[in-house]
Amino acid sequence: MQSGTMKAVVIREFGGPEVMTLEDVPVPAPDAGEVLLKVEAVSVNRTLDLAVRAGRYARTVALPHVLGADPSGTVVAVGEGVTSRRIGDRVVISPRLKAATATEGPVMLGVQVWGGYAQYVKLPARNTHLIPKGLDFDVATIIARHAPLAFNLLMQKARLQPGEWVLVMGAAGGLGSAGVQVAKYLGAHVIAAAGADDRVAASKVLGAEFAINYRSTDLAAEIGRITEGRGVDVVFENVGDAELFPKAFESLARNGRMVTAGAHAGGKVQLDLNRLYLNYITIMGSTAHTDADVERSLEIASEGHLDVLIDRTLPLSEVRTAHELVGSRAGMGKVILHPWA
């Protein structure tokens, strides 16, 4: 059993990156049903990290707080009654510790519960998933964070079928890049859309058949050209831009489905409701995924069918720089923190 203190990034007030401080705090002890994880990697997320830190998250966050929704690492201690995990297991996590109820949202690691911006973190054993051989901690962290949601949105919500057309917005971001690859894996024709030429090029490398710079090209017109006027069957949306969202919606064919799980660009958009009901279009929002989605994602990644984009890795001591990078959208790919660097 670990004891003593550990390094953790603590916020004691909401604000900019400067509110995060690297402190010595007690190593948590796992309770019954829990494991203690030595954190090897944790990614920086625009919503679950930057918005929480700034005090803009939709749910209450108690201070002091430690961010980090998606740590991966090695089990170093197990609590009473844990039989599914052993010391030495390499695991990723599912951050949703308790499901949402009719009156309250889910309880999330790194939001209502101290997270993975630390050298150790404790959580229920049921929220851990074994990392297959061949995946390192950085890749496994990103796969577990984004691919399960991409699978759930495209398979369970959109009911994507082989041969259908999919438009993926924000295609070089964490969720978008997973969406491109999952849609391709499911046999769809993938059109990737991003806001810069280098991001467009990256989405092509990930497997998109067509790629569009939606800042320099009329998105709806280009979709019409590519699909010969038909439109796409599914839009995978996670940007929420006031100008782009209606164009993506306009790109949907009759009986089209739009799935969305993000609003980084603001989230206040206008829709043509006549087009919505006259063309039998469905819009679904969700952030849910299942354990089966996680297991499927890890297995497929270990077989070489899913890749990740990593901008850079940084030690915990450079967490402010990490948040500034993600907030500025200057890089491409995920920023990863290494607590033991």
Task: Please write the tens of the pLDDT for every residue from 16-53.
Answer: 999 999 999 999 999 999 999 999 999 999 888 999 99
Lowest-confidence region among 134-143, 159-168, 238-247 = 238-247
- Could you check whether 5-130+309-338 and 147-285 share the same CATH topology? yes
Domain boundaries, given as residue ranges, for the chain: 5-130+309-338, 147-285
CA distance 190 to 168: 7
pLDDT recorded at residue 25:
97
Q: Which homologous superfamily does the CATH classification assign to the domain defined by 5-130+309-338? A: Medium-chain alcohol dehydrogenases, catalytic domain (3.90.180.10)
CATH 3.90.79.10 matches 147-285: no
Task: Please write the tens of the pLDDT for every residue from 293-339.
Answer: 999 999 999 999 999 999 999 999 999 999 999 999 888 899 999 99
The separation between CA 128 and the C-alpha centre of its own chain, rounded to angstroms, equals 16
In terms of Cα–Cα distance, which of 72, 58, 59, 63 is closest to 10? 63
Range 11-21 burial, b when 16+ CB lie within 10 A, else e: beeeeebebbe
Task: Please write the tens of the pLDDT for every residue from 240-253.
Answer: 889 999 999 999 99
> Is residue 139 within 8 Å of residue 301, measured between CB atoms?
yes
Task: Please write the tens of the pLDDT for every residue from 154-164.
Answer: 999 999 999 99
Mean per-residue pLDDT for 111-119?
97
- Of the pLDDT bands very low, low, confident and very high (cuts 50, 70, 90), residue 99 is confident
pLDDT recorded at residue 1:
52
The token pair that represents 144 in the structure block: 């577990």
Mean per-residue pLDDT for 133-156?
97
> Is residue 96 within 8 Å of residue 69, measured between CB atoms?
no
